Amino acid sequence: MNMKNILIVDDDPFILESVGEILIENRYKVYKSSNGEEMFKVLEKNSIDLILLDVKLPDRTGIEYLPELKHFYPDISIIIITGNAEINDAVKAIKMGAYDYLKKPFKGKELLLSIEKALKWNELLFRNENLQEQVEKDFSFQGIIGKSSKMKELVKMIKQVSKTDSNILITGESGTGKELVAKAIHFSGKRKNNPFVPINCASLPETLLESELFGYVKGAFTGAYNNKNGLFKVADSGTIFLDEIGDMPLSLQAKILRVIESGEFTPLGSTVVLKTDVRIISATNINLRDRIVENRFREDLYYRLNVVNINIPPLRERREDILLIAQHFLEKYSIKMNKKIKGFSEGVKEIFLRYDWPGNVRELENAVESSCALTTDEIIDVKNLPSHLFGNIMRSNRNEFIPINRPLKETIDYYEREYLVQLLKFCNGNVTKAAQIAQIARQNLHSKLKIYNINVKDFRK
């Protein structure tokens, strides 16, 4: 165990001497000062674990130093030393955050016991902090953050299906984390040491998509100078992630069905049948049943892909997760942008909690990223938020209560901003007209819009 550093602050040289001796005998490192000024000098230069603080000091009383000590050195334990007459002060001191008090004259044993307890208590507090980190980790599985019951259910399901090999269809609105969930399933299952191969079925024209998925042989078409492995081969013994499966052309749907049923496929221009062992996870944000009705999606393929369905609920149906996820992105972007941003103002938190997030987690991520980029403070403020977050709230909360848990200035800013957004909406982004209604100079309105990061173009039809 490392040696603990104790600072004795007392104007009585006899106390400094005798107490110092006891502590040194008991393997503490001792620092001494006889007044407040010296005390702060010692604190500045050394890492002190505990202060024995006399109440009666020449410049001020030890109690008067407590708020300052607690503010600047919150993790140092303080034990007050007091003469008999000042016992009320001692009680006050404990209320102000001192750990204990000792009445003069005290025995060495008493002193040591109190010190030991104070240091142990501090260690406990410290361990508690680590616990909090642990809890944060408990709210995250493979990068999926959430403490809502819906997300806990989802994580439970992911853990279950990752033990199996069945095909999975992930459904959910755009930005809910479908790809993240697909990765979580792959990387927590037995295929995790083999490839995870994602492909977006909506991003490529049919022929390209086909050659990507199944590969081709040299000379299969103009430009095919070499053999190329298809992704179904690349993903062999791993997982292929077919994103936006609803956009898969019908002709390719038949070939995928064949892979599922026999593990076989034929590259373009080849006659050789290849074998592969892939798990298929697919995702969609549209309703595949509608596509089936429209004859744009094969029903038999649908059942083969949808052995297990995992639906990710939209963010607005699990609002408990919003601030947790926002905080996660805040840390991510403040590191990335090399800024020291600690958190969100109360006003921002409230807007986050009330907004409907049609773009779900991705929209939340974008909002946090852009406000991190705009802020010059340690705290993200309402004026750093993208303006569209306000309009939504205005629409959905006509009879809103006025929140009183934040400073007047911030409240005024918040309402000023809402007013401006509504005004611009009414004027279709015509600043001259808006300035007339608001009865302020155009220039003045422009500078306000700049402060609040409101873009007039957003309101022009």
Ligand X SMILES: Nc1ncnc2c1ncn2[C@@H]1O[C@H](COP(=O)(O)OP(=O)(O)OP(=O)(O)O)[C@@H](O)[C@H]1O
Site residues, ligand X (CB under 6 A): 143-146, 172, 174-180, 285, 325, 361-362, 365
Residue with smaller CB distance to Mg ion, 70 or 362: 362
How near is the Cβ of 172 to Mg ion at its closest, in Å?
9
How near is the Cβ of 283 to ligand X at its closest, in Å?
6
Residue with smaller CB distance to ligand X, 154 or 421: 154
Closest to 361 measured CA to CA, from 200, 144, 67: 144
Which among Mg ion, ligand X, none contacts residue 350 (Cβ within 5 to 8 A by kind)?
Answer: none
Residue with smaller CB distance to ligand X, 32 or 183: 183
Residue with smaller CB distance to ligand X, 79 or 197: 197
Residue with smaller CB distance to Mg ion, 179 or 346: 179
How near is the Cβ of 207 to ligand X at its closest, in Å?
23
Backbone angles phi, psi at 35, to 5 degrees: -155, 175
Which among Mg ion, ligand X, none contacts residue 36 (Cβ within 5 to 8 A by kind)?
Answer: none
Burial (CB count within 10 angstroms: exposed 0-12, middle 13-18, buried 19+), residue 35: middle
Q: Is 43:70 a contact under the CB 8 Å cutoff?
A: no
In the complex, residue closest to Mg ion by CB: 179
Secondary structure (DSSP) of 228-244: EE-HHHHTTTSEEEEET
Q: At what angle do helices 178-187 and 149-162 cross, to 10 degrees?
A: 40
Could you give the string, one character per residue 174-193, with x where binding to Mg ion holds by CB under 5 A and - elsewhere?
A: -----x--------------
Q: Is 285 in the site for Mg ion (CB under 5 A)?
A: no
Q: Is 417:390 a contact under the CB 8 Å cutoff?
A: yes
Backbone angles phi, psi at 315, to 5 degrees: -60, -35
How near is the Cβ of 329 to ligand X at its closest, in Å?
8
Closest to 69 measured CA to CA, from 60, 24, 128: 60
How near is the Cβ of 405 to ligand X at its closest, in Å?
27
Contacts of 213 (CB under 8 A, 6+ apart): 199, 230, 231, 232, 252, 255, 256
How near is the Cβ of 259 to Mg ion at its closest, in Å?
22
Which among ligand X, Mg ion, none contacts residue 311 (Cβ within 5 to 8 A by kind)?
Answer: none
How near is the Cβ of 285 to Mg ion at its closest, in Å?
8
Secondary structure (DSSP) of 251-289: HHHHHHHHHHHHSEE--BT--PPEE---EEEEEESS-HH
Residue with smaller CB distance to Mg ion, 199 or 274: 199
In the complex, residue closest to ligand X by CB: 177
Q: Is 459:427 a contact under the CB 8 Å cutoff?
A: yes
Which among Mg ion, ligand X, none contacts residue 365 (Cβ within 5 to 8 A by kind)?
Answer: ligand X
Residue with smaller CB distance to ligand X, 36 or 172: 172
Residue with smaller CB distance to ligand X, 114 or 176: 176
Place of tokens 């010692």: 42
Which among ligand X, Mg ion, none contacts residue 175 (Cβ within 5 to 8 A by kind)?
Answer: ligand X
How near is the Cβ of 130 to ligand X at its closest, in Å?
22
Q: Is 364:326 a contact under the CB 8 Å cutoff?
A: yes
What angle (nearest 5°) sits at the alpha carbon of residue 118, between those of residues 116 and 124?
105
How near is the Cβ of 181 to ligand X at its closest, in Å?
7
How near is the Cβ of 53 to Mg ion at its closest, in Å?
59
How near is the Cβ of 237 to ligand X at its closest, in Å?
24
Which among Mg ion, ligand X, none contacts residue 362 (Cβ within 5 to 8 A by kind)?
Answer: ligand X
Give how many residues touch Mg ion by CB under 5 A.
Answer: 1
- 150-175 in b/e form (b: 16+ CB < 10 A) is bbeebbebbeebbeeeebbbbbbbeb
Tokens of 427: 């004027």
Residue 295's region, left for phi above 0, alpha for psi from -120 to 50, else beta, is left
Residue with smaller CB distance to ligand X, 178 or 298: 178
Residue with smaller CB distance to ligand X, 147 or 425: 147
Q: Which helix (H) or strand (E) holds 70?
A: helix 62-72
Q: CB count, 10 Å around CB of 57?
A: 21
Which among ligand X, Mg ion, none contacts residue 57 (Cβ within 5 to 8 A by kind)?
Answer: none
Burial (CB count within 10 angstroms: exposed 0-12, middle 13-18, buried 19+), residue 369: middle
CA 230, CA 347: separation in Å to the nearest integer? 51
Which among ligand X, Mg ion, none contacts residue 230 (Cβ within 5 to 8 A by kind)?
Answer: none
Could you give the string, one character per residue 128-167, with x where binding to Mg ion holds by CB under 5 A and - elsewhere?
A: ----------------------------------------
Which among Mg ion, ligand X, none contacts residue 366 (Cβ within 5 to 8 A by kind)?
Answer: none
Residue with smaller CB distance to ligand X, 35 or 174: 174
Secondary structure (DSSP) of 351-367: HHHHS--TTHHHHHHHH
Binding site for Mg ion (CB under 5 A): 179
